[in-house]
Amino acid sequence: MFAARHLRSAESVAFKEFRSRPGSPPERRRFRTEARILGSIDHPHVVAARDVIEDDTIWALVMELLSRGSLRQHIRSGLGLAQTGRVLEDLLSGLGQLESQHVVHLDIKPDNLLVTSSGRIKITDFGVAQEVGPGRERQAELIGGTPQYLAPEQAAGAPLGAWTDLYAVGIMAFELLVGRPPFADTHDLVDIMDRHLHDRIPRVCDVLPGMSIAMADWIDRLVSKTPSDRPQSAEDAWDELDKLLTECLGSSWRLAAGL
């Protein structure tokens, strides 16, 4: 992905290019799925599509350009509870829109969250996203994602849904507060996936003494190995988080929440 200028609008944009290869219909289908999903979403916390280019040799998505880069560079040493809450508010708002359109992202991580000039968050990179509405439930194959944030059902080939992205939100909440994901002590991808399947995610209050027990409990629900034990929608997850942030930090907690 690189910066470019859109000739029709003269706007600075992000240009995500895919090169076609002989015998690559799966890649073309994936490109068209990403283009269709991104083009159908209009939400303040999802990156906006500007154009789609497709011919015999090149496919490209043209998107709004956000100059502050990804969230990754802002969390090297962890964020405070208020900043974490604001990031999660924006992320869950964007995921709520995806849910309403029967889309699961399947690769939620700091690298795929862009920071706006005002310090807010937008979801990007729908390269492995899937449409999963009634009759379109996906399962039985490992369809992508990043091992450090991979839900157990992704690793096991089980049914996927909104609950799958919420697991990744829980892993990311841990990382936002601690400064690293739970299984950062290994780089073996198979080992990481096995640990997501079988090992308990450490409680954030055990890693960060003094951290809110309520926040640790909230994260624990999101990273439950059993999807039915997690909140079943982004709205439900946010309602719980909003309440605990207000109880922990007061009703004006957003005043100290800027990135």
Catalytic residues: 107
Q: Helices (H) and strands (E) in the chain — how many of each?
A: 8, 8
Residue 217 CA to residue 203 CA, distance in Å, equals 8
H or E stretch including 246? helix 234-249
Work out the angle at residue 154's Cα, subtended by the Cα atoms of residues 192 and 197, and round it to the nearest 5 degrees: 45
| Residue among 157, 257, 39, 208 nearest 219 (CA) | 208
Instruction: Give, to the nearest 10 degrees, the angle between helix 234-249 and helix 213-222.
Output: 170
Token couple for 75: 């969390």
- Residues 167-197 as b/e (b if ≥16 CB within 10 A, e otherwise) read bbbbbbbbbbbbeebbbeeeeeeeebbebbe
Return the amino acid letter for 112. Answer: N
57 vs 16, 52, 136, CA distance in Å?
A: 14, 14, 31
